[in-house]
Amino acid sequence: MLGDIITPDLFASAFRMATPLALAAIGGTICERSGVVNIALEGIMLTGAFFGTAAVLATGSPWFGVLMAMVAGVVISAIHAFASVNLKADQVVSGTAINLLALGVTGFLMERWYGHPGTTDPIKTLGPILRLTAEGGGFLGEVWRWVNGIFLTHTPIVYITVLIAIFAQWAIYNTRWGLRLRAMGEHPRAVDTVGVNVYRGRWVAVLMSGALAGLAGANLTIEQVGSFTENMTNGRGFIALAANIFGRWTALGSYGASLLFGLADGLQIKLQILRDVIRIPPQFFLMLPYVLTVVVLAGVIGRAVAPAAVGEPYEKKG
Partner 1 sequence: MPVLELREITKVFPGVIANERVSLELEKGEIVALLGENGAGKTTLMNVVYGLLSADGGEILMDGEPAKIKSPRQAIDHGIGMVHQHFMLVEPLTVTENIVLGREPGRLGVIDFKIARERVIEISQRYGLKIDPDARIEDLSVGMQQRVEILKALFQGARVLILDEPTAVLTPQEVRELFGVVRSLVDEGLSVVFITHKLEEVMAVADRIVVMRDGRVVGETRPEDTDEIGLARMMVGRDVVLRVEKPVSTCGDTVLEVSDLHADDERGLEAVKGVSFSVCGGEVVAVAGVSGNGQTELVDCIVGLRRPTGGTMHLKGKDITHASARSSIEAGVSHIPEDRHRRGLVLEFDLAENLILGDHRTPPYSTRGLLHPKAVTTMARKRIDDYDVRTPSEKVIASNLSGGNQQKLVVAREIGRDPELLVAAQPTRGLDVGAIEFVHRQILDERAEGKAVLLVSLELEEVLSLADRILVMYEGRIVREFTADEADEETLGYYMTGGGGVKLDDDARQAGPIESGGDA
Q: What would the x/- binding string for partner 1 be over residues 145 to 184, using CB under 8 A?
A: -----------------------------xxxx-xx-xx-
302 binds partner 1 (CB under 8 A): no
248 binds partner 1 (CB under 8 A): no
In the complex, minimum distance from the CB of residue 211 to partner 1, in angstroms, rounded to a whole number: 18
112 binds partner 1 (CB under 8 A): no
Question: Three-class SS of residue 170?
Answer: helix
In the complex, minimum distance from the CB of residue 173 to partner 1, in angstroms, rounded to a whole number: 9
Q: Which of 1, 3, 135, 193 binds partner 1 (CB under 8 A)?
A: 193
190 binds partner 1 (CB under 8 A): yes
192 binds partner 1 (CB under 8 A): yes
**By the 8 A CB rule, do 99 and 40 touch?**
yes
Q: What are phi and psi of 232, to 5 degrees?
A: -70, -15
Question: Three-class SS of residue 119?
Answer: strand
In the complex, minimum distance from the CB of residue 213 to partner 1, in angstroms, rounded to a whole number: 24
Question: What is the rounded distance in angstroms from the CA atom of residue 185 to the CA atom of residue 78?
Answer: 19
In the complex, minimum distance from the CB of residue 313 to partner 1, in angstroms, rounded to a whole number: 12
88 binds partner 1 (CB under 8 A): no
**By the 8 A CB rule, do 98 and 43 touch?**
yes
Question: What is the rounded distance in angstroms from the CA atom of residue 246 to the CA atom of residue 244?
Answer: 5
Measured CA to CA in angstroms, residue 298 lies from 71, 126, 146, 301 at distances of 35, 38, 34, 8
Q: Which of 195, 281, 299, 302 binds partner 1 (CB under 8 A)?
A: 195
In the complex, minimum distance from the CB of residue 184 to partner 1, in angstroms, rounded to a whole number: 9
Q: Which long-range contacts (CB under 8 A, 24 or more apart) does 286-295 make?
A: 288/264, 289/239, 289/261, 289/264, 289/265, 290/235, 290/239, 292/260, 292/261, 292/264, 293/239, 293/242, 293/261
Q: Which of 46, 191, 263, 267 binds partner 1 (CB under 8 A)?
A: 191
In the complex, minimum distance from the CB of residue 161 to partner 1, in angstroms, rounded to a whole number: 23
Interaction site with partner 1 (CB under 8 A): 174-177, 179-180, 182-183, 186-187, 189-196, 308, 317-318
